[in-house]
Structure formats: C-alpha cells, structure tokens
Amino acid sequence: MTLHEYAGFVPADYAAAMVEPTRTWWQWRDTHVHIARAARPQARARVMVIHGGGGYSEALWPAAAVVASDGVEVFAPDLPLYGHTETPDPSGVRYGDWIDLLCDLVRAERATDPRPLILFGASMGGMLAYEVAARTAGEVAAVLATCLLDLADPTARAAASRYAWMGGPAPALLRAVDPVLGRVRLPIRWFADMAAMSSNPALSRLCASDPRGGGTRVPLGFLCSWMNYRHTDPAAFDAAPVTLVAPAADLWTPPEVSIRFLQRISAPTKLVMLENCGHFPIEQPGIGRLRDEVLATVTEVAPAR
C-alpha cells in the first residue's frame, strides 16, 4: 500500500495540496522508529499525529497533514507493530510501550525545539494523546482527538470490539490467557470491526488489507495490556486543553461515548462535530472543519506577533 492510495480517498483539493512527507528515523531503546515529517522552520507551532490500531503515518497523512500546506509543521510516528517502524521483538510489544515511546518522543522533540506542540490523536490515538499529555505535563500545549475511548468503560469496550458482546468479558479473558498465549500474534481484524473504519467501503477494505496498517498481526498480550490499562483520571487531568473533533457519522465508535469522557475532564474542553465524517474522517464538510480546528488551535497556543 502507498501513501497515494490513501490520498485517493480525500477530497481532490486536499490531495492536490498534500505536502509529501520526509522519511526520518529515531532510535528508541531497541526500536527503530519511523517518523514522517513536513518540516516548517518558520511555523509557530507543531502538530504530532498519533495513529490508532488500524492506521499509521502514511494512512493518516493525506487527511491530517494537509495543514502543512498552511505552514504548520507536522510529524507522525509509526508505533511498533505498524508502518515502517522496526522492532526486534514484535510479540513483546505492549500498550504501555506505546505510551512510553510517545512520552519520550515528546520530551526529545521539546528538548530540541521549544515551539508549542499539539497532539492530534486519531481513533485509539486519541486516548494515547490524552495520556501522553498527562504524563508529560508542561510539554504539550493542546490535545485534539477524534475519539476518547476509555476502556475502563464497558460501553467503550463494546464500541472498540468487533462484536459488542466481546467488550464485557474481554479484560478478564485476556488476563487469563496472557501468561500462556500473550506472545501469539493474531490479525487485528479478528478483534476490531475494520469494515466500519470508513463510510467508504473501498477505504475500509484498503485499511483492513494493508499489511502495515489494519492488516497487521498484534500479540494477544498487547490487546490484554490495552484492555486492562488504567488511564489518568479525567477529574485529575489538567495538563492541556482537550478538543474532541468527533466524526458525526462514525458507525464504529459512537461520538456519545467519547463525549461522556470529555465531559469528565477537568481541563478546558471543547466539542467539535465533523459533519458527514465516518470513523476515518475524510468526508466534506467535516474534513474542512477538522482543518480549521487544527489551524485555530495553532493560533490559540501560538498567537501571531
């Protein structure tokens, strides 16, 4: 699969304005992390794009990085198991590793570049962005997320699972099998409803078949660690303002589940509905609203002088 296959699904004017990413690498522990970048030295702020369980940098780039054409610096890491990132022990990857990696990346980026950093999380990347902001207090200027699925909530687990009934017993079942089968890798589409990735069936098929994205295999131990992870209590979250940019026509993860979590966050929050957008938000007019919201957030965290 290629970046341009995904670009074929965004509106034509967005595809035409898309800035080609530069491929860069960052060493984290024993993992060679691929990071797609659009460097903009004169930009007032930067945006780090965080993918979820069916995407990676090239899949999200055509939709999320179009703001690079507006002068915003954008970069998108591939988390272990996905994209072009190379890890020596894929079977040992756990959800906590993703959070540790992203926290260290935020600190590394901020150590070399003081410009305000905005985290934009798509799908399960939304909770990653939230958690990373909480754990790197003072380093993240703002969080935008398409979803905020806290899997401590049974309703969120049901939404995240391929079959709703799997959500209830999943944490306990995975804990039971983890000691013996935790390193066994299975297709993510067995557990997630990849057919609901987009309102465009062809894009859903592309995501589900992409060996670097939704077609990858993940260890049961990763799913166990994700289902059983306890995120920062939203009542204690004050690290950064949070904007939920919720796809209004999301057939996979209903917006109301994320809205319920947003309403519990103690930091300043905002809700923006992306009209006509499915889980993978590429439809008009919602994608235009998403672009506007990213640019507005840049202005808020780094006002023009």
Pick the CATH number of 3-300 from 3.90.45.10, 3.30.300.30, 3.40.710.10, 3.40.50.1820: 3.40.50.1820
CB 59 within 8 A of CB 207: yes
pLDDT of 163: 56
According to DSSP, residue 172 is labeled H
Please give the model's pTM, rounded to 2 decimal places: 0.95
Distance CA 243, CA 176 (A): 36
CB 77 within 8 A of CB 35: yes
Spell out the residues 6+ positions from residue 288 whose beta carbon is closer than 8 angstroms to its own.
none
Distance CA 172, CA 165 (A): 13
Strand partners, 185: 219
Strand partners, 219: 185
Strand partners, 118: 47, 142
pLDDT of 127: 97
Give the total residue count for the chain: 305
- Single-letter amino acid, residue 69: S
Distance CA 41, CA 72 (A): 9
Show the CA angle centred on residue 66, arms to residues 62 and 69, nearest 5°: 140
For 139, list phi and psi in degrees, rounded to 5.
Answer: -95, -25
CB 257 within 8 A of CB 160: no
According to DSSP, residue 231 is labeled P
Write out the chain's pLDDT in tens, 305 residues. 588 899 999 999 988 888 999 999 999 999 999 999 999 999 999 999 999 988 999 999 998 877 888 889 999 999 999 999 999 999 999 999 999 999 999 999 999 999 999 999 999 999 999 999 999 989 999 999 999 999 988 888 887 776 554 566 788 889 999 999 999 999 888 877 788 889 899 999 999 999 999 999 999 999 999 999 999 999 999 999 999 999 999 988 999 999 999 999 999 999 999 999 999 999 999 999 999 999 999 999 998 76
User: What is the SS3 assignment for 219?
Assistant: strand
Distance CA 77, CA 112 (A): 17
Distance CA 245, CA 148 (A): 10
Distance CA 127, CA 145 (A): 8
User: Which H helix or E strand runs over 208?
Assistant: helix 201-209
Distance CA 236, CA 246 (A): 23
User: What is the SS3 assignment for 73?
Assistant: strand
pLDDT of 268: 98
Distance CA 17, CA 72 (A): 13
* The pairing of beta strand 217-219 with beta strand 31-38: unpaired
pLDDT of 189: 83
C-alpha distances (whole Å) from 12 to each of 17, 62, 69, 194 are 9, 11, 14, 25
Distance CA 231, CA 116 (A): 24
